[in-house]
Amino acid sequence: MVMAQPWCFCVMTISLTLFVVVNATTIPPSSQAQQIHDKVGKLPGQNFTINFDHYSGYVTVNEKAGKALFYWFIESDQSPQTKPLLLWFNGGPGCSSIAYGEAEEIGPFHIRPDGKTLYLNPYSWNQVANILFLDSPAGVGFSYSNTSSDIQNNGDKKTAEDSLEFLLRWFERFPQYKGRDVFITGESYAGHYVPQLSQAIVKHNLKNKKNAINLKGYMVGNALTDDVHDHLGVAEFMWSSGLISDQTYKLLNLSCGNQSFVHASDACAQIQGIAYTEIGNIDPYSIFTPPCSANHSQSNQLLRRKLSSRIGKFSEEYDPCTESHSTVYFNLPEVQKALHVDPAHKPAKWEPCSDEVHSNWKDSPKTVLDIYRELIPSGLRIWVFSGDTDAIIPVTSTRYSIAALKLPTVSPWRAWYHDGQVAGWTQGYAGLTFVAVRGAGHEVPLHKPKPALALVKAFLDGTSLPEAELVRSY
Amino acid sequence: MVMAQPWCFCVMTISLTLFVVVNATTIPPSSQAQQIHDKVGKLPGQNFTINFDHYSGYVTVNEKAGKALFYWFIESDQSPQTKPLLLWFNGGPGCSSIAYGEAEEIGPFHIRPDGKTLYLNPYSWNQVANILFLDSPAGVGFSYSNTSSDIQNNGDKKTAEDSLEFLLRWFERFPQYKGRDVFITGESYAGHYVPQLSQAIVKHNLKNKKNAINLKGYMVGNALTDDVHDHLGVAEFMWSSGLISDQTYKLLNLSCGNQSFVHASDACAQIQGIAYTEIGNIDPYSIFTPPCSANHSQSNQLLRRKLSSRIGKFSEEYDPCTESHSTVYFNLPEVQKALHVDPAHKPAKWEPCSDEVHSNWKDSPKTVLDIYRELIPSGLRIWVFSGDTDAIIPVTSTRYSIAALKLPTVSPWRAWYHDGQVAGWTQGYAGLTFVAVRGAGHEVPLHKPKPALALVKAFLDGTSLPEAELVRSY
């Protein structure tokens, strides 16, 4: 034991020196100061220690309008300097990536049912990446604009533009991440945001080679992709899972088949309402798990979650009332202070999803498959995954959308394994990998945290998912 | 407390007297002697007391051939004299109703992983009925024939004939059950047996009014019904649940679409083999639960289970290796003795399913929907249920088969509730009730024992399944 001390001391000295050198050469004083300002200390209710740094705050994307986007950046707990940068977006449109992605899916800080104390998510994706959560666009979560009309004029195009602007400015604040491998990920309506931002980055890079963002790929889960195929898949999944009547199945296809998901007609909304009455009080985002409350209300705004009110006591593995806990936690003044939320710009009440943003959404193209077709030849790594017990954007929708791309198969359909069990199924196409996650709902990392971590690790490493040797008798 | 004694004594006296009177007037001495012979005492490994009687033994259905069917009759634990008689059949063809129905589904005696001790199934259907399990036809379980060619010439027609003959003779042995309300139930390939036996009984009753069987209705679960629609449903369910590739989906429809389920062509069997390779090592009878073993073999004889070899330790609620425990238990000489198995006629090795019976199956009509059409006007109560996570005879197959009957709807599709949760969905047709059981596999009472008990209770009572008032906001 005595012999170990000089060696330990020596290693520590070298590490500290390296750290100072790297910082001194890459981070200008103004950025250093901003980082120090944004650095988050121990969070309220955090009674565990962590071995990673994390930062939160605003990045102004439009000075004139006074539009600023709120981010939470969580470094990897293992060698952050060698890990890629992973952006995560949630959907809605109108929902906070912090409410869902951070607090109940891939982030390290999850919230207990008391709404006041935290626990460390043992399957946080910051084990394999530095994660950047962005409340996008303005009006969502803690992101704001001083120009109130901005909130009522959000849409896909503006979201992509502002997200790109955010990212460029964020790299100015965190220049040590410039040139780092970047992967953009998200779920649900982020099926629009993720390829749209990827496209915007690719276009930016063509014009700004010196200030390029080193985008390596994107991945979406249970993603809105193509309205026609998505509607087709929803109706078929609902019917084949035994959720709705034969008649409603037919009417869903008739009334919704060619509709926009975000701007559906009254006739489509009406038959969707009938479908949800037939389904009864299950969680359509995860059809086999108990819903938060026996009497919670369900929205026919299919891409967003309504806040559930019951605060129950559940295991840390899966808690159907987790949105309620977030709503308590992120409204606590001490939490907002710790996260550097500006009292002058904080929302009257923090909510996981903004109704105002959702109901005033402008442009929402009926498909983003054209962006896939444009980006696949660029060599980006593109993965599309699907939790197979989600009735909102089900696995059938994703399969129809991918089939519409007519891509050649490069590795045939097969099961993939995790912990000795079938974790799902995968097929490799030229330029795109499909992954189903068995028994997972709309929020895959919420329902299947361990396989989800294995999935993102394979995605980031560019490796294929584990395959088991099977003994079969035919 | 002192006052209660005379009252108690009085009631007991009356009860005993009544019992003697009923027995004396209705059961002839020969039947009484046979009942006494068949009465089962405490079973090996039964370390709990029970408050019901049960009987097992053989009923000869053909003296010349020496063909005898083995039954296990378990009376209700609550007022057996007022409860209906419920027959339960399993499928295969070739599988034992005692192995599945009694020991892992609806019977009271379930087997622990040691294969030696029993526990009392808290959701046994003998809470609501007197249950008669029949190993059917000869060659299955403990049923036998001294004419060995019988075993290799089984088929639907003979099964129905022998089952009717069994039932008529069984009523001679248990005359106190003559005239009792009878309900015939079963799952899987019993989707053939149950309506076929019902049809045989109806025909018998027309000719033998004095010796009529008081058949009130039948109920089948995940039932093979109509080969064309069943194949269509299997392929669609496998695809929409994300189990198989787009290509295999198409090929299943092409190669199997018009095939017999039991006598499929080589081309169909080949593509089914590819489908099962793509699916990987999941339990196709229950796609979201862990299979018994990580390396067990799967059969492409879709309607029967292959024995799984691993004996694990699982909770009593659901044990994927339960067949293995039965195989140990029912091969114990002391168990066979307790159940009155004749050593001279016992199988060399008791197995849950007989390969010999299965592979030599003769007539298997491609549909039994014609029997539904024939029996519906007779006013029988007909219920069809489906566990919705079964890929063998999935909910889609059942829906296609029912739709083919083109019956008018009398109560529209809605969710039904148990323990405050959606337990499934139901729709009432003129003459037939459909019930889906949420999250249940092929063996509904194995996976969802509580809702299954509620389901059979409603079926026997002829009541509709519980409906919850829902608060909705649209």
Among the partner-chain residues B281, B395, B472, the one whose CB lies closest to the CB of A297 is B472
Four-CA torsion B121, B123, B129, B131, nearest 10 degrees: -40
CA A369, CA A374: separation in Å to the nearest integer? 9
- Chain A: residue nearest B394 by CA? A240
Q: Which two tokens stand for residue B312?
A: 């694990």
Contact A420 B278 (CB under 8 A): no
- Please indicate whether, in this complex, the C-beta atoms of B281 and A427 are within 8 angstroms of each other: no
Distance from CA of B254 to the nearest CA of A (A): 19
Tell me, yes or no, whether B160 lies in a domain.
yes
The amino acid present at B57, given as its one-letter code, is G
pLDDT of residue B322: 86
Mean pLDDT over A17-30 rounds to 57
| pLDDT at residue B305 tops 50 | no
Query: Do B184 and B190 meet the contact criterion of CB atoms below 8 Å apart?
Result: no
Q: Does B248 touch chain A (CB under 8 A)?
A: yes
Could you tell me the CATH number of the domain that includes residue A451? 3.40.50.1820
Interface of B with A in 366-425 (CB under 8 A): 386, 388-389, 394-396, 399, 403, 412-415, 417, 420-422, 424-425
Domain total of chain B: 1
Instruction: Examine residue A432 and state whether it is found in any structural domain, yes or no.
Output: yes
Give the model confidence (pLDDT) of B376-389 as tens digits.
999 999 999 999 99
Rounded to 5°, the CA angle A425-A426-A428 comes to 165
**Residue of A447, A469, A474, A444 lying closest to A219 (CA atoms):** A444
- Asked if residue A425 belongs to a domain, the reply is yes
For the segment B332-342, what is each residue's pLDDT rounded down to a tens digit? 999 999 999 99
B248-267 pLDDT tens trace = 999 999 999 999 988 889 99
Tokens of A206: 């063509």
- Burial (CB < 10 A; 0-12, 13-18, 19+), residue B12, is exposed
- Percentage of chain B beyond pLDDT 70 is 88
| Rounded mean pLDDT, B194-210 | 97
Give how far B301 is from chain A: nearest CA, Å: 10
**Which residues of chain B does A299 touch, with a Cβ-Cβ cutoff of 8 Å?**
473
CB contact under 8 A, A396 and B240: yes
Give residue A396's Cα distance to chain centre.
20
Residues of B in contact with A417 (CB under 8 A): 280-281
Task: Please name the residues between 300 and 339 in chain B that touch chain A, using a CB distance below 8 Å.
Answer: 300
pLDDT band at A250 (very low <50, low <70, confident <90, very high): very high
**Would you list the DSSP string of B430-469?**
TTEEEEEETT--SSHHHH-HHHHHHHHHHHHHT-PPP---
CB contact, 8 Å: A280 with chain B?
Answer: yes
Note whether B282 contacts A415, CB cutoff 8 Å: yes
Hey, is the C-beta of A237 within 8 angstroms of any chain B C-beta? Answer: yes
Asked whether residue A268 is domain-assigned, the answer is no
Residue A82 domain boundaries: 31-226+319-461
What was the pLDDT predicted at A296?
Answer: 41
* 3-state SS assignment for residue B69: strand
Q: What is the pLDDT of residue A468?
A: 79
Q: Would you say B70 and B55 are in contact if contact means Cβ atoms under 8 Å apart?
A: no
The pLDDT of residue B231 is 96
| pTM of the model as a whole | 0.89
Q: Which residue has the higher pLDDT, B60 or A301?
A: B60
Q: How many helices (H) and strands (E) does chain B have?
A: 15, 13
Judge: A242–B395 Cβ closer than 8 Å, yes or no. Answer: yes
pLDDT at A106: 98
pLDDT exceeds 60 at position A86: yes
CB contact under 8 Å between B422 and A281, yes or no, is yes
Closest CA of chain A from B195, distance in Å: 24
pLDDT in the model for residue B27: 85
Output the pLDDT for position A1.
31
- The answer to whether B298 contacts chain A (CB < 8 Å) is yes
Compute the distance between CA of residue A27 and CA of residue B412 in angstroms, rounded to an integer.
Answer: 67
Task: Specify if B57 maps to a domain.
Answer: yes
B241 interface with A at CB cutoff 8 Å: yes
> What pLDDT is recorded for position A118?
97
The residue count for chain A: 474
Please tell me which residue in B230, B319, B388, B390 is annotated as part of the active site: B390
Q: Is residue A261 part of a domain?
A: no
- Measure the CA–CA gap between A91 and A187, rounded to whole angstroms: 6
Of A241, A244, A414, the CB nearest to B413: A244
Residue of B145, B188, B255, B397 marked catalytic: B188
- A70 found inside a domain: yes
Does the beta-carbon distance from A422 to B280 stay under 8 Å?
A: yes
